[in-house]
Amino acid sequence: MSEFDVYSFGVVSSSTLYRIKGEFPRPDGYAEIVDALHMTGGEAANSSVVLAHLGARVKLDGNWLGTDQGGRRTKAMLDDFRIDTSRLPLKEDYKGVQEVVFAANETRTIFGTYIRLHEDSAWNQPREEDIGSARVVNVDPFFGEASLSAAETGYCAGKPVVTVDCRHDDPLLEYAAVAVIAESFLRENYADDDLEDVFRSYQQTGASLVIFTFGADAVWYARGEESVKTAQAYSVEPVDTAGAGDSFRAGIVYGLLQGWEDERMVNFASALAALVCTRFPGVLDAPSYDEVLRLMEGA
Protein backbone atom coordinates (compact mmCIF):
# COMPACT_ATOMS: atom_id res chain seq x y z
CA MET A 1 0.00 0.00 0.00
CA SER A 2 1.32 3.44 -0.96
CA GLU A 3 1.99 5.90 1.85
CA PHE A 4 0.02 8.55 -0.04
CA ASP A 5 -2.60 8.53 -2.76
CA VAL A 6 -1.33 11.73 -4.36
CA TYR A 7 1.94 13.64 -4.43
CA SER A 8 1.18 17.24 -5.43
CA PHE A 9 4.02 19.51 -6.52
CA GLY A 10 3.39 23.13 -7.39
CA VAL A 11 2.05 26.50 -6.34
CA VAL A 12 0.94 27.20 -2.78
CA SER A 13 -0.12 30.70 -1.78
CA SER A 14 -1.99 32.74 0.75
CA SER A 15 -5.23 34.00 -0.75
CA THR A 16 -7.92 36.51 0.18
CA LEU A 17 -11.09 36.09 -1.83
CA TYR A 18 -13.61 38.90 -2.24
CA ARG A 19 -16.99 38.31 -3.83
CA ILE A 20 -18.37 41.55 -5.23
CA LYS A 21 -21.79 42.53 -6.48
CA GLY A 22 -22.15 42.95 -10.23
CA GLU A 23 -19.27 43.49 -12.61
CA PHE A 24 -15.66 44.19 -11.70
CA PRO A 25 -15.40 48.01 -11.71
CA ARG A 26 -13.58 50.09 -14.26
CA PRO A 27 -10.70 52.37 -13.15
CA ASP A 28 -11.91 54.90 -10.56
CA GLY A 29 -15.12 52.90 -10.20
CA TYR A 30 -16.73 51.23 -7.19
CA ALA A 31 -18.02 47.75 -6.38
CA GLU A 32 -19.80 46.48 -3.29
CA ILE A 33 -18.10 43.61 -1.42
CA VAL A 34 -20.59 40.86 -0.61
CA ASP A 35 -18.24 38.39 1.11
CA ALA A 36 -14.56 38.26 2.05
CA LEU A 37 -12.64 35.19 3.11
CA HIS A 38 -9.11 33.97 3.68
CA MET A 39 -8.43 30.75 1.81
CA THR A 40 -5.75 28.72 0.08
CA GLY A 41 -4.37 29.78 -3.29
CA GLY A 42 -2.25 28.18 -5.98
CA GLU A 43 -3.11 25.34 -8.31
CA ALA A 44 -1.38 22.55 -6.38
CA ALA A 45 -2.76 23.70 -3.04
CA ASN A 46 -6.35 24.05 -4.24
CA SER A 47 -6.44 20.73 -6.08
CA SER A 48 -4.98 19.08 -2.97
CA VAL A 49 -7.73 20.52 -0.76
CA VAL A 50 -10.43 19.27 -3.13
CA LEU A 51 -8.82 15.82 -3.21
CA ALA A 52 -8.70 15.78 0.58
CA HIS A 53 -12.46 16.47 0.64
CA LEU A 54 -12.87 13.34 -1.50
CA GLY A 55 -10.91 11.31 1.03
CA ALA A 56 -7.57 11.13 -0.79
CA ARG A 57 -4.32 11.13 1.21
CA VAL A 58 -2.20 13.96 -0.19
CA LYS A 59 1.39 15.07 0.28
CA LEU A 60 1.96 18.66 -0.89
CA ASP A 61 5.28 20.13 -1.95
CA GLY A 62 6.25 23.22 -3.93
CA ASN A 63 7.19 26.83 -3.26
CA TRP A 64 8.26 28.08 0.14
CA LEU A 65 5.94 29.49 2.76
CA GLY A 66 6.97 32.47 4.87
CA THR A 67 6.61 33.17 8.57
CA ASP A 68 4.29 36.07 7.79
CA GLN A 69 0.63 35.91 8.73
CA GLY A 70 -0.37 34.63 5.28
CA GLY A 71 2.13 31.77 5.38
CA ARG A 72 1.13 30.66 8.86
CA ARG A 73 -2.55 30.84 8.01
CA THR A 74 -2.13 28.87 4.77
CA LYS A 75 -0.14 26.08 6.42
CA ALA A 76 -2.71 25.84 9.22
CA MET A 77 -5.55 25.55 6.70
CA LEU A 78 -3.78 22.79 4.78
CA ASP A 79 -2.98 20.93 7.98
CA ASP A 80 -6.66 21.14 8.98
CA PHE A 81 -7.49 19.12 5.87
CA ARG A 82 -4.89 16.51 6.92
CA ILE A 83 -2.72 17.31 3.94
CA ASP A 84 0.91 16.43 4.61
CA THR A 85 2.84 19.73 4.49
CA SER A 86 6.05 18.44 6.04
CA ARG A 87 8.01 19.58 2.96
CA LEU A 88 6.68 23.12 3.47
CA PRO A 89 8.18 24.46 6.70
CA LEU A 90 7.81 28.17 7.36
CA LYS A 91 10.98 30.01 6.31
CA GLU A 92 12.25 32.81 8.53
CA ASP A 93 12.46 36.26 6.99
CA TYR A 94 10.70 35.12 3.83
CA LYS A 95 7.40 36.46 2.57
CA GLY A 96 5.55 33.73 0.71
CA VAL A 97 3.29 34.03 -2.30
CA GLN A 98 0.18 36.14 -1.80
CA GLU A 99 -2.86 36.75 -3.95
CA VAL A 100 -6.08 38.74 -3.78
CA VAL A 101 -8.97 37.47 -5.90
CA PHE A 102 -12.11 39.42 -6.82
CA ALA A 103 -14.98 37.20 -7.95
CA ALA A 104 -17.58 39.15 -9.93
CA ASN A 105 -20.46 37.38 -11.67
CA GLU A 106 -18.66 34.66 -13.68
CA THR A 107 -15.24 36.34 -13.77
CA ARG A 108 -12.17 36.39 -11.56
CA THR A 109 -9.60 39.19 -11.31
CA ILE A 110 -6.36 38.23 -9.56
CA PHE A 111 -3.60 40.34 -8.05
CA GLY A 112 -0.57 38.50 -6.70
CA THR A 113 3.16 38.08 -6.26
CA TYR A 114 3.72 35.16 -8.62
CA ILE A 115 6.27 36.98 -10.77
CA ARG A 116 8.40 37.61 -7.69
CA LEU A 117 8.15 33.90 -6.88
CA HIS A 118 9.70 33.04 -10.25
CA GLU A 119 12.31 35.75 -10.00
CA ASP A 120 13.47 34.24 -6.70
CA SER A 121 13.05 30.57 -7.79
CA ALA A 122 11.64 30.14 -4.30
CA TRP A 123 10.62 26.50 -4.43
CA ASN A 124 11.81 23.07 -3.32
CA GLN A 125 13.27 20.30 -5.45
CA PRO A 126 10.98 17.25 -5.58
CA ARG A 127 12.20 14.17 -3.73
CA GLU A 128 12.22 10.74 -5.32
CA GLU A 129 11.10 9.04 -2.11
CA ASP A 130 7.97 11.19 -1.91
CA ILE A 131 7.02 10.49 -5.50
CA GLY A 132 7.67 6.79 -5.05
CA SER A 133 5.33 6.73 -2.04
CA ALA A 134 2.32 8.00 -4.01
CA ARG A 135 -0.08 6.41 -6.47
CA VAL A 136 -0.62 9.49 -8.68
CA VAL A 137 1.69 12.48 -9.24
CA ASN A 138 0.00 15.88 -9.59
CA VAL A 139 2.45 18.43 -11.09
CA ASP A 140 2.11 22.14 -11.78
CA PRO A 141 4.30 22.97 -14.81
CA PHE A 142 5.35 26.40 -13.56
CA PHE A 143 8.66 25.62 -11.81
CA GLY A 144 10.79 24.77 -14.84
CA GLU A 145 13.36 22.05 -14.24
CA ALA A 146 11.90 21.20 -10.84
CA SER A 147 8.47 20.49 -12.38
CA LEU A 148 10.08 18.52 -15.19
CA SER A 149 12.03 16.47 -12.65
CA ALA A 150 8.88 15.65 -10.69
CA ALA A 151 7.10 14.52 -13.85
CA GLU A 152 10.03 12.47 -15.14
CA THR A 153 10.58 10.83 -11.77
CA GLY A 154 6.91 9.92 -11.53
CA TYR A 155 6.88 8.53 -15.05
CA CYS A 156 9.99 6.42 -14.45
CA ALA A 157 8.44 5.10 -11.23
CA GLY A 158 5.35 3.98 -13.14
CA LYS A 159 3.07 6.61 -11.60
CA PRO A 160 0.48 8.43 -13.73
CA VAL A 161 1.36 12.13 -13.94
CA VAL A 162 -1.33 14.81 -14.26
CA THR A 163 -0.45 18.36 -15.30
CA VAL A 164 -2.15 21.53 -16.50
CA ASP A 165 -1.74 24.59 -18.71
CA CYS A 166 1.56 24.06 -20.48
CA ARG A 167 2.28 24.60 -24.15
CA HIS A 168 2.20 21.66 -26.56
CA ASP A 169 5.99 21.81 -26.93
CA ASP A 170 6.70 21.64 -23.20
CA PRO A 171 8.98 18.60 -22.55
CA LEU A 172 6.99 17.84 -19.40
CA LEU A 173 4.21 16.45 -21.61
CA GLU A 174 6.44 13.53 -22.57
CA TYR A 175 5.86 12.18 -19.07
CA ALA A 176 2.19 13.11 -18.60
CA ALA A 177 -0.62 10.60 -18.40
CA VAL A 178 -3.11 13.48 -18.54
CA ALA A 179 -2.75 17.13 -19.61
CA VAL A 180 -5.65 19.46 -18.77
CA ILE A 181 -5.54 22.73 -20.72
CA ALA A 182 -7.93 25.54 -19.80
CA GLU A 183 -9.66 27.94 -22.17
CA SER A 184 -7.92 30.92 -20.56
CA PHE A 185 -4.51 29.38 -21.28
CA LEU A 186 -5.52 28.62 -24.87
CA ARG A 187 -6.64 32.22 -25.38
CA GLU A 188 -3.35 33.57 -24.06
CA ASN A 189 -1.10 31.21 -26.04
CA TYR A 190 -3.03 30.21 -29.17
CA ALA A 191 -5.34 33.16 -29.81
CA ASP A 192 -4.82 33.11 -33.59
CA ASP A 193 -4.77 29.35 -34.07
CA ASP A 194 -7.53 26.93 -34.94
CA LEU A 195 -8.29 25.04 -31.72
CA GLU A 196 -8.76 21.73 -33.50
CA ASP A 197 -5.25 22.09 -34.92
CA VAL A 198 -3.96 23.01 -31.47
CA PHE A 199 -5.63 19.95 -29.97
CA ARG A 200 -3.94 17.73 -32.55
CA SER A 201 -0.60 19.32 -31.65
CA TYR A 202 -1.12 18.25 -28.05
CA GLN A 203 -2.11 14.77 -29.18
CA GLN A 204 1.26 14.43 -30.90
CA THR A 205 3.12 14.91 -27.61
CA GLY A 206 3.77 12.13 -25.13
CA ALA A 207 0.65 12.95 -23.08
CA SER A 208 -1.67 9.92 -23.05
CA LEU A 209 -4.92 11.83 -22.54
CA VAL A 210 -5.43 15.45 -23.63
CA ILE A 211 -8.32 17.49 -22.20
CA PHE A 212 -9.40 21.01 -23.18
CA THR A 213 -11.84 22.73 -20.81
CA PHE A 214 -14.08 25.66 -21.81
CA GLY A 215 -15.79 26.80 -18.63
CA ALA A 216 -19.55 26.30 -18.98
CA ASP A 217 -19.15 24.78 -22.47
CA ALA A 218 -18.39 21.20 -23.48
CA VAL A 219 -15.07 19.58 -22.59
CA TRP A 220 -12.88 18.12 -25.37
CA TYR A 221 -10.83 15.00 -24.71
CA ALA A 222 -9.04 12.23 -26.59
CA ARG A 223 -6.13 9.81 -26.46
CA GLY A 224 -3.42 9.30 -29.06
CA GLU A 225 -4.79 9.68 -32.56
CA GLU A 226 -8.45 9.37 -31.51
CA SER A 227 -11.02 11.82 -32.80
CA VAL A 228 -12.01 14.45 -30.29
CA LYS A 229 -14.78 13.43 -27.91
CA THR A 230 -16.94 15.90 -26.00
CA ALA A 231 -18.57 15.90 -22.59
CA GLN A 232 -21.28 18.42 -21.85
CA ALA A 233 -20.74 20.70 -18.87
CA TYR A 234 -23.21 20.50 -16.00
CA SER A 235 -25.70 23.34 -15.77
CA VAL A 236 -25.52 25.13 -12.41
CA GLU A 237 -26.05 28.62 -11.02
CA PRO A 238 -22.49 29.80 -10.32
CA VAL A 239 -21.72 31.76 -7.17
CA ASP A 240 -17.94 31.85 -7.49
CA THR A 241 -15.76 30.34 -10.22
CA ALA A 242 -12.48 30.60 -8.28
CA GLY A 243 -10.86 27.17 -8.10
CA ALA A 244 -13.01 25.56 -10.78
CA GLY A 245 -10.04 24.54 -12.93
CA ASP A 246 -8.10 23.23 -9.93
CA SER A 247 -11.17 21.21 -8.94
CA PHE A 248 -11.51 19.75 -12.43
CA ARG A 249 -7.92 18.51 -12.25
CA ALA A 250 -8.61 17.06 -8.79
CA GLY A 251 -11.49 15.13 -10.34
CA ILE A 252 -9.20 13.69 -12.99
CA VAL A 253 -6.65 12.66 -10.36
CA TYR A 254 -9.41 11.05 -8.32
CA GLY A 255 -10.63 9.17 -11.39
CA LEU A 256 -7.14 7.79 -11.98
CA LEU A 257 -7.04 6.59 -8.37
CA GLN A 258 -10.31 4.74 -8.98
CA GLY A 259 -9.16 3.26 -12.30
CA TRP A 260 -12.08 4.77 -14.20
CA GLU A 261 -12.35 4.95 -17.96
CA ASP A 262 -11.98 8.36 -19.62
CA GLU A 263 -15.68 9.15 -20.06
CA ARG A 264 -16.55 8.60 -16.40
CA MET A 265 -13.42 10.41 -15.25
CA VAL A 266 -14.12 13.50 -17.37
CA ASN A 267 -17.78 13.59 -16.39
CA PHE A 268 -16.88 13.29 -12.70
CA ALA A 269 -14.32 16.11 -13.00
CA SER A 270 -16.88 18.31 -14.78
CA ALA A 271 -19.53 17.69 -12.12
CA LEU A 272 -17.03 18.32 -9.33
CA ALA A 273 -15.93 21.64 -10.86
CA ALA A 274 -19.56 22.67 -11.42
CA LEU A 275 -20.46 22.06 -7.78
CA VAL A 276 -17.44 24.02 -6.58
CA CYS A 277 -18.74 26.99 -8.58
CA THR A 278 -22.02 26.93 -6.64
CA ARG A 279 -20.29 27.60 -3.29
CA PHE A 280 -18.38 30.34 -1.58
CA PRO A 281 -15.63 29.52 -0.99
CA GLY A 282 -15.90 26.60 -3.37
CA VAL A 283 -12.53 24.99 -2.72
CA LEU A 284 -12.67 25.09 1.08
CA ASP A 285 -16.25 23.79 0.94
CA ALA A 286 -15.63 21.31 -1.88
CA PRO A 287 -18.22 18.56 -2.34
CA SER A 288 -18.00 14.96 -1.21
CA TYR A 289 -18.02 12.02 -3.60
CA ASP A 290 -21.72 11.38 -2.89
CA GLU A 291 -22.64 14.99 -3.70
CA VAL A 292 -20.84 14.78 -7.04
CA LEU A 293 -22.51 11.48 -7.81
CA ARG A 294 -25.96 12.94 -7.14
CA LEU A 295 -25.35 15.73 -9.63
CA MET A 296 -24.16 13.23 -12.24
CA GLU A 297 -27.15 10.97 -11.71
CA GLY A 298 -29.60 13.87 -11.83
CA ALA A 299 -28.25 15.29 -15.08
CATH number of the domain encompassing residue 246: 3.40.1190.20
Residue 100: inside a domain, yes or no?
no
Residue 101: inside a domain, yes or no?
no
**C-beta of residue 105 within 8 angstroms of C-beta of residue 23:** yes
CB atoms under 10 Å from CB of 125, counted, come to 11
Q: CB pairs under 8 A, 24+ apart, for 219-222? A: 219/266, 219/270, 221/262, 221/266
Give the total number of structural domains in the chain.
1
Mean pLDDT of 124-135: 97
pLDDT for position 295? 93
- pTM of the shown model: 0.94
CA distance 85 to 205: 32
Over the Cα atoms of the chain, what is R_g?
18
Residue 159: inside a domain, yes or no?
yes
CA distance 26 to 13: 27
pLDDT for position 25? 93
Q: Tell me: the pLDDT tens digits for 206-221? A: 889 999 999 889 999 9
Residue 24: inside a domain, yes or no?
no
| 18, pLDDT greater than 80 | yes
Q: Tell me: the pLDDT tens digits for 71-98? A: 999 999 999 999 999 999 999 988 889 9
Mean pLDDT taken over the chain: 94
Residue 19: inside a domain, yes or no?
no
Residue 96: inside a domain, yes or no?
no
CA distance 8 to 162: 9
**Most distant CA atoms of the chain, gap in Å:** 57
Rounded percentage of the chain residues whose pLDDT exceeds 70? 99
Residue 97: inside a domain, yes or no?
no
Domain extent, residue 292, equals 6-11+42-90+121-298
Q: Which residues of 64-83 are buried (b: 16+ CB within 10 A; e: fewer)?
A: bbbbbebbebbbebbeebeb
Residue 20: inside a domain, yes or no?
no
| Predicted confidence band of residue 134 (pLDDT cuts 50, 70, 90) | very high
Q: Is 149 exposed, middle or buried (0-12, 13-18, 19+ CB in 10 A)?
A: buried
Q: Where are the beta strands (DSSP E) in 154-226?
A: 161-164, 178-182, 209-214, 217-223
The H-or-E segment that residue 120 falls in is helix 114-120
